[in-house]
Chains A and B, each alone.
Chain A
Amino acid sequence: MSELVFDKLNVWFGDDWDRVDAVKEASFTVPSGASFGLVGESGSGKSTILRALVGLVPTWSGVMKVDGETLGKKRPRAFFRDVQMVFQDPYASLHPRHSVDQVLSETLKLHGFKDVDDRIGKLLADVGLGPEFRFRYPHQLSGGQRQRVAVARALAPEPSVLLLDEPTSALDVSVQAEVLNLLADLRENQHLTYLMVSHNLAVVAHMCERVAVMQNGEIVEVMGVEEMRSMSPAHDYTKHLLEASMGYKPAE
């Protein structure tokens, strides 16, 4: 069980004249066991928040806390077990010359697990893949199956927080439904905390209880899903996003 706290988080790239402030003064809290969504257009800084949390971006200031512990420059060893990430494109995030078995056993060995063999079988079963998938390579899997492998890899170290960076935007809608169902089940069974980035508001509304809307690096609004469903956001930009996501409306 882990609570995530972000307080006045700033992330920037470059310095002096070519400095870009990707995230400005972002503050929000994800309670333990909750599912929190970040939405916004490309370049709004939503993925950067995830990357800053896991330590992929060194240039940040402000406070980030996982389970009450403030993160410094260097993250404790336990952090890398506790927080795991699932990336957008399963075609790019799996090593093309590593079989499913290699991907999972490498992660398990790195984290010091002894019963690797049993765990791989269980992980595959957890994400709805049969044992026949164990020795396949990524090119022998469909997009949905690959994303299941990526989820299995993230679950291998027994994390309590999953960071989901557009986990279904590379998938067809029918496969998206299967993966979203899987993620919802896993959260319930393994008591995970989700922080999910997506540009698809319907997906976020389905998966999350609370949503932060980002524009140009700033959080313009944090709202509950009910407000989103009733189409009554406070900020104009959110309204604009919601309307655009409902399909095409000819201009009058």
Chain B
Amino acid sequence: MSKLLDIENLTVTFPTRSGEFDAVRGVSFTLGQERLGIVGESGSGKSMTGRAILRLIRPPGRISADRLELNGRDILAMSEKEMQSVRGQKISMVMQDPKFSLNPVMRIGEQIIEIYRFHTKASKKAAYDKAIEMLEAVSIRDPERVMRAYPHEMSGGMGQRIMIAMMLVTEPEILIADEPTSALDVSVQTSVLTIIDKLVKERGMGLIFISHDLNLVASFCDRVLIMYAGRIVETCKADKLHEATHPYTRGLLNSLPRIDTPQDRLQALVRDPTWAQAASVSGRQ
């Protein structure tokens, strides 16, 4: 399997009043043409990892890594101009909430066309046709009407599908999806995931799927990294997630209420300070 991304010892640091704080500490993993899940609680560094790959950490935050390569090219050594051609074209990112990711005063069609023409220099007509085609690909009915609409006219599920269409119009090699479905209802969630799944299979895209929903990641991804306090504490095959061995992963799994088996009490997670101290497990393959 070819490696799209190769990351070794990635660290993201923020200076604070009480000294430096490492949000991500020495994370290593590779991404091939697969669906890689990253799970963990809020503050575990999973979103920061996704942002660091696109160099979206603003100063005073700092990124450092022994290796951060996209198809063998060093991302950290690229100029801002080169990064612009990476962001959106090579690697796209879908954020959690479409409300904050779409421009509220620009028609949806213009936003999609802008991205496509920025990266491909295509004609307006070609860009329009491409945008319609992408909206159809994410199962939006009546794409011509949606192209003329403003984001506030869309429901949450439609907004999220539009985001995905916009991020995929440039046919990126890697999609980073940061909690793409946690603001959506379960039935819409299924249709959004089906779309992503299809694109991964048909285009051989690499997917990094960031989520706090363990059951969802276990059923959707191929491989999972479990993060705690900025480190990877365990990696496993997604379908083996329920047999995970690390006490943190076990604690998370046990704290979930289950529909099929009644429990008197839910198990609360007892945190062991040594988890945060232990070295990060490598997710390289």
Q: How far is the CA of A168 from the CA of B176 in the complex (A)?
A: 27
Q: Is the beta-carbon distance between B268 and A173 smaller than 8 angstroms?
A: no
Interface residue stretch chosen among A81-89, A156-164, A236-244: A236-244
Q: Given known contacts A172-B42, A199-B185, A250-B197, is B219 in contact with A180 (CB within 8 Å)?
A: no
Q: How far is the CA of A231 from the CA of B261 in the complex (A)?
A: 12
Q: Is the beta-carbon distance between A248 and B268 smaller than 8 angstroms?
A: no
Q: Which residues of B contact A248 (CB under 8 A)?
A: 190, 193, 197, 216, 219-220
Q: Which residues of B contact A173 (CB under 8 A)?
A: 41, 212, 214, 252, 255-256
Interface flag for A184 (CB, 8 Å):
yes
Q: Which residues of A contact B261 (CB under 8 A)?
A: 229
Q: Given known contacts A176-B255, A248-B216, is B194 in contact with A41 (CB within 8 Å)?
A: no
The one of B216, B219, B262, B268 in contact with A181, judged by C-beta atoms closer than 8 angstroms, is B268
In the complex, what's the smallest C-beta–C-beta distance from A199 to chain B, in angstroms? 7
Q: Which residues of B contact A176 (CB under 8 A)?
A: 255, 266
Q: How far is the CA of A178 from the CA of B255 in the complex (A)?
A: 9
Interface flag for B259 (CB, 8 Å):
yes
Q: Given known contacts A177-B269, A240-B187, A249-B219, is B41 in contact with A172 (CB within 8 Å)?
A: yes
Of the listed residues A177, A245, A246, the one surrounded by the most CB atoms of chain B closer than 10 A to its CB is: A177
Q: Given known contacts A228-B259, A245-B259, is B197 in contact with A174 (CB within 8 Å)?
A: no
Q: Is the beta-carbon distance between A201 and B187 smaller than 8 angstroms?
A: no
Interface flag for A42 (CB, 8 Å):
yes
Q: Which residues of B contact A225 (CB under 8 A)?
A: 262
Interface flag for B258 (CB, 8 Å):
yes
Interface residue stretch chosen among A21-29, A52-60, A116-124, A202-210: A202-210
The one of B186, B215, B257, B265 in contact with A241, judged by C-beta atoms closer than 8 angstroms, is B186
Interface flag for A251 (CB, 8 Å):
yes
Interface flag for A247 (CB, 8 Å):
yes
Q: Which residues of A contact B185 (CB under 8 A)?
A: 41-42, 199
Q: Is the beta-carbon distance between A184 and B190 smaller than 8 angstroms?
A: no
> Per-residue 0/1 for B240-283: is the Cβ within 8 Å of any A Cβ (1 yes, 0 no)?
00000000000110011111111101111100000000000000
* 5 A-B pairs closest in CB distance: A247-B219, A206-B257, A177-B255, A174-B269, A244-B186
Given contacts A41-B186, A181-B268, 18 further A-B contacts (CB under 8 A): A173-B212, A173-B256, A176-B266, A178-B268, A180-B257, A181-B266, A202-B258, A205-B257, A205-B258, A241-B186, A241-B187, A242-B259, A245-B259, A246-B259, A247-B218, A248-B216, A249-B190, A250-B194
